[in-house]
Amino acid sequence: MPTFKLDGKTIPFEPGDTIIQAAYREGIEIPHYCWHPGLSAPANCRMCLVEILPKPGARPLMLDVLQWDARAGAYRTTQKPKLQPACYTAAADGMDVRGDTSEHARKARHDVQEFLLLNHPVDCPICDQSGECKLQDYWLEYGQYQKRMRDEPVHKPKGVVFGPTIVYDGERCVMCTRCTRFMAEVAKDPVLDMRERGNLNEIFVAPGRQLDGHYTFMTEHVCPVGALTTKDFRFKARVWFLKTAPAICQGCATGCNAHLDYDPRYSKVYRYRPRDNEKVNKYWMCDEGMLSYKEAHEGRLLEPKVRGVAMPTAKALEEIKSLFAGVPKDVVAIVLSASHSLEDNWALLELGTVLLGAKHVYVSGRPDGYADDILIHRDKNSNTRGVMELAPNAKPLSALVADAKAGLTHVLALGGAAPSDVGDLRSLKVVTVAAHEGPLTSIATVALPAASWAEASGTYVNAKGIRQGSEKALEPQGASKPAWRQLADVAAALGFEATWSKLRQIRTNLIGTGAASSTPALSNARAASAE
């Protein structure tokens, strides 16, 4: 593989890589505003300038510049090397690139930083980007100067509502055009553009339109500063109080990799951010997915219910015991969940088919919905493929209605969701373990609360067959427990000795099922998000 040197470090690259791309892949950040690994490179911010040393014997490319001579009290002409934008310059074998080790590159970054902040309001204390803003980061690294401009800064539109989700502050905008390029290149909806010139530049929405659709949150995510904020997160939390857990979005079968940001002081989830995974979601998530973090708190089943009435766990388990006492195995059905983890489904399969001896296995989940050819999958369940690999002969829930007429009377289910009306199952004795209220919990004789994906580590197989791990962020809320743990308690209540009491045991058992051939690990190449 060809290589070049960056500040003395050897960087391998693939043909066609720019300097910044190759460095990024190696985990080295060359400072930048306009460059983003998933977008085209306009090279307009000039923050990434580097010095490329000439090959031995070659004439260096030099520029005449004016430099202030304080002693003489006049400008004098001098020379400096012509710097190159790392985001636009192709890497070449044997190249010697100097960034942080070049006084000229550092000076250029300092000057770009001063230029970008000339008219900036520097309102960090009330800015939502504070703590994760590239202007702040690079000011510390390359700025640290006393402001020289004494004039009133140029004022621009503030608090401009771009659409149902996004608000724009023109004074904080560094005109990197990441947002306009995202909408044009990824969302395929070029609804944002830049108007005016020089320090009157601003981003605007096409006349007659608003910034809407399925990918508006990504404009805020790619914005390197606080110019775009989401109505959802604005003024809600300071990011330095948030912790993050690597999660898998539960919104559809694409299984986008995400950071789930939560405040451990209040056990409250605040937002999702995309986590880079070239093979799954690249650097992006859709709006529905970005907002689905709320399901960690909304619509939850947090206490056991018997015929719709809240009960202590012990009473609910007693009820399950009496429901299933002496029931022949032929009348018992198992309903797996396409939106629960492999571990949860394995535990139900083990309890239902091995311990109880049930022969009838079904799968339930959310109904299909909107799809596109960018990210969004029509299957709104995160683990349909995983469940089908675990139980290839599982029938759709709709088949249970017909089979119930043929004599099935007892159902042990996972999850509250169902793809269609479950009214016909009302006459059955249904026990479900679910994180959220749903059609199945509404007809259940007994419903036990399960931890949501935010409260339990689990493995999910996306529509492409990629197995991915999602990690626990919060402690289980209310009386909930990981579903596999609840199912172990159900097994004990029914007089069985569950073969699983730890996640590790289930994962070992999953080896060889076809659904999980090893202990799940995060499949993303990089744990961090692009920006």
Residues making contact with ligand SF4 (CB under 6 A): 173-179, 203, 222-223, 225, 227-228, 249, 251-252, 254-256, 281, 285-286, 288-289, 375-377
Distance CA 210, CA 162 (A): 6
Output the smallest distance, CB 182 to ligand FES, in A. Answer: 15
Nearest to 473, CA basis, from 233, 292, 260, 272: 260
> What is the full DSSP assignment across 309-323?
EE--HHHHHHHHHHH
Answer yes or no: are the C-beta atoms of 3 and 11 closer than 8 Å: yes
Closer to ligand FES by Cβ: residue 45 or 252:
45
- Smaller CB separation from ligand SF4, 321 or 526: 526
**CB of residue 407 to ligand SF4, shortest distance in Å:** 39
Closest CB to ligand SF4 among 13 and 272? 272
Partner from ligand SF4, ligand FES, none contacting 226, C-beta within 5 to 8 A by type: none
CB of 203 to ligand SF4, least distance (A): 5
Give the nearest distance from C-beta 47 to ligand FES in angstroms: 5
The residue (of 41 and 242) whose beta carbon lies closer to ligand FES is 41
Contact of 397 with 430, CB cutoff 8 Å: no
Give the residue from 79, 97, 77 showing the smallest Cα distance to 87. 97
Residue with smaller CB distance to ligand FES, 43 or 95:
43
CA-based nearest residue to 254, from 455, 466, 457: 466
CB of 520 to ligand SF4, least distance (A): 17
Please report how close the Cβ of residue 498 comes to ligand SF4 at its closest, in angstroms.
32
Between 178 and 273, CB nearer to ligand FES: 178
β partners of residue 10: 5
Q: Read out DSSP for 367-421?
A: PP----SSS--S---S-HHHHHHH-TTPEEHHHHHHHHHTT--EEEEE-S--SS-
Angle, in degrees to the nearest 10, between helices 342-349 and 503-510: 80
Q: In the bound complex, what is the minimum distance in angstroms from residue 352's beta carbon to ligand SF4?
A: 28
Choose among ligand FES, ligand SF4, none what residue 338 binds, the Cβ cut-off being 5 to 8 Å by kind: none
Residue 47 or 440: the one with the smaller Cβ distance to ligand FES is 47
Given ligand SF4, ligand FES, none, residue 47, with its beta carbon under 5 to 8 Å by kind, binds ligand FES
Choose from ligand FES, ligand SF4, none: what does 87 bind? Cβ within 5-8 Å by kind: ligand FES
Residue ranges that bind ligand FES, judged by CB under 6 A = 32-35, 43-48, 85, 87
Q: How far is the CB of 293 from ligand FES (least distance, A)?
A: 30
Which among ligand SF4, ligand FES, none contacts residue 85 (Cβ within 5 to 8 A by kind)?
Answer: ligand FES
Tell me which of ligand FES, ligand SF4, none is bound by residue 256, counting a contact when its beta carbon lies within the kind-specific cut-off of 5 to 8 angstroms: ligand SF4
Binding site partner of 177, from ligand FES, ligand SF4, none, Cβ cut-off 5-8 A by kind:
ligand SF4
Is the CB of 205 or the CB of 400 nearer to ligand SF4? 205
- Asked if residues 474 and 454 have their Cβ atoms less than 8 Å apart, the reply is yes
Q: Using CA atoms, how far apart are residues 314 and 429, in angstroms rounded to an integer? A: 19
35 touches, from ligand SF4, ligand FES, none (C-beta below 5 to 8 Å by class): ligand FES
50 vs 412 by CB, closer to ligand FES: 50
- Give the closest residue to 10 by CA, choosing from 91, 83, 108, 88: 91
The item of ligand SF4, ligand FES, none sharing an interface with residue 43, based on CB under 5 to 8 Å by kind, is ligand FES
Residue at shortest CB range from ligand SF4: 289
Alpha helices in 233-312 (DSSP H): 287-291
Q: What is the Cα–Cα distance from 393 to 466, expressed in whole angstroms?
A: 21
Query: Residue 225 binds which one of ligand FES, ligand SF4, none, with CB within 5 to 8 A depending on kind?
Result: ligand SF4
CB 215 → ligand SF4: shortest distance, Å?
A: 9
Q: Is the dihedral of CA 62, 63, 67, 72 positive or negative?
A: positive
Residue with tokens 């959310």: 366
- Amino acid residing at 123: D
Give the contacts of 226 (CB within 8 A, at least 6 positions apart): 127, 128, 129, 130, 133, 169, 172
In the complex, minimum distance from the CB of residue 172 to ligand FES, in angstroms, rounded to a whole number: 17
Per-residue CA distances from 156 to 161, 170, 428, 456, 518 (Å) = 14, 5, 64, 46, 55
Task: Choose among 6, 224, 7: nearest CA to 21.
Answer: 6
